[in-house]
């Protein structure tokens, strides 16, 4: 049961990757056929009626690598969420010789810790964007335990920290997030204004917790989760343009979820549908074709 919603995983940092195991796929197919509801009742007894909510998070406390492994300069950062939880992150300046074009605040997916997600964003420093990435509560060196509301507060805290830095204040800020991070950042950025925020970018993000549970495990999944703080309910309130990236072969978050979220957004929106893209490789496919397209899109703001 612990792995039922591993789902975000495809962790690409430090030269490693984790695929959704074949035995997990077989289990999910079995659960979708729980027509009589016996497995659902058993799961509700073990986890509680809304116990599936916690299965969206699969944190680890290890640090498999730091940017130093790849010759990238970085600063260890500690900051505090509104409720007092201590959070940890990395601030990466632009590569030597690069002029600063802006700052990207990156919110990672639902599994692992910072080092596992470095490969999603380390390339940005070579293209003029300084980078602030961080771990949610319960992940990596951050304290506390993951909750849906708590992670949204962590996103808010990350942006509050970033805009106060002397090397960021008054500059262009972009939100970039993968998978679950996109769901959290969309909600956070509709609740608290961020000075200097120019655009929001998501990669492989879903529209609804309930929708994801149904996609993964049918009514078995639906009966174990709630759908509050779903990004589809607030995405139209984003104060900036939105870019959504989604692979057609995403095996974790179906592209239908991405399209549902996109449909709910306001007209200032763009959708990059990456042919053959999976959950963790859409931006790196074809020698980074969509990285270039993303940078061109960002340059407009």
Question: Domains of the chain: which residue ranges?
Answer: 60-207+225-298
* pLDDT confidence tier of residue 14, bands split at 50, 70 and 90: low
Tell me the average pLDDT across 274-289.
96
pLDDT digit string (tens) for 173-197? 999 999 999 999 999 999 999 999 9
Q: Would you state the pLDDT for residue 2? A: 36
CATH number of 60-207+225-298: 3.40.50.1820
Q: Would you state the pLDDT for residue 21? A: 47
pLDDT digit string (tens) for 16-63? 434 444 554 554 554 455 555 554 554 444 445 555 788 899 999 999
Q: Would you state the pLDDT for residue 15? A: 44
Q: Would you state the pLDDT for residue 292? A: 98
Residue 165 has pLDDT above 60, yes or no: yes
Tell me the average pLDDT across 150-170.
97
Asked if 132 and 162 count as a contact pair (C-beta separation under 8 A), the reply is yes
Q: Would you state the pLDDT for residue 55? A: 82
* pLDDT confidence tier of residue 216, bands split at 50, 70 and 90: confident
């Amino acid at each position: 049961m612990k792995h039922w919603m591993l789902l975000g995983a495809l962790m690409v940092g430090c030269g490693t990757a984790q695929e959704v195991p074949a035995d997990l796929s077989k289990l999910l197919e079995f659960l979708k056929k729980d027509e009589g509801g016996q497995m659902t009742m058993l799961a509700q007894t073990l986890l509680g009626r809304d116990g599936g909510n916690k299965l969206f998070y699969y944190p680890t406390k290890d640090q498999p690598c730091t940017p130093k492994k790849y010759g990238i300069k970085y600063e260890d950062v500690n900051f505090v969420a509104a409720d007092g939880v201590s959070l940890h992150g990395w601030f990466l300046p632009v590569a030597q010789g690069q002029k600063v074009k802006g700052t990207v605040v990156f919110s990672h997916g639902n599994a692992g810790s910072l080092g596992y997600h470095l490969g999603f964003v380390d390339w940005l420093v070579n293209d003029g964007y300084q980078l602030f990435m961080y771990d949610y509560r319960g992940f990596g060196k951050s304290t506390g335990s993951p909750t849906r509301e708590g992670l949204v507060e962590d996103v808010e805290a990350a942006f509050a920290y970033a805009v106060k830095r002397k090397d960021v204040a008054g500059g262009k800020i972009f939100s970039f997030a993968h998978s679950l991070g996109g769901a959290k950042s969309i909600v956070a950025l509709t609740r608290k204004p961020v000075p200097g925020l120019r655009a929001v970018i998501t990669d492989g993000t879903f529209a609804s917790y309930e929708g994801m549970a149904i996609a993964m495990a049918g009514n078995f999944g639906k009966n174990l989760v709630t759908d509050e703080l779903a990004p589809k309910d607030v995405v139209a309130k984003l104060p900036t343009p939105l870019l959504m990236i989604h692979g057609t072969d995403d095996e974790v978050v179906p592209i239908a979820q991405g399209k549902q979220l996109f449909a709910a957004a306001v007209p200032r929106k763009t959708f990059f549908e990456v042919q053959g893209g999976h959950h963790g490789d859409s931006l790196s496919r074809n020698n980074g074709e969509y990285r270039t397209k993303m940078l061109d899109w960002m340059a407009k703001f």
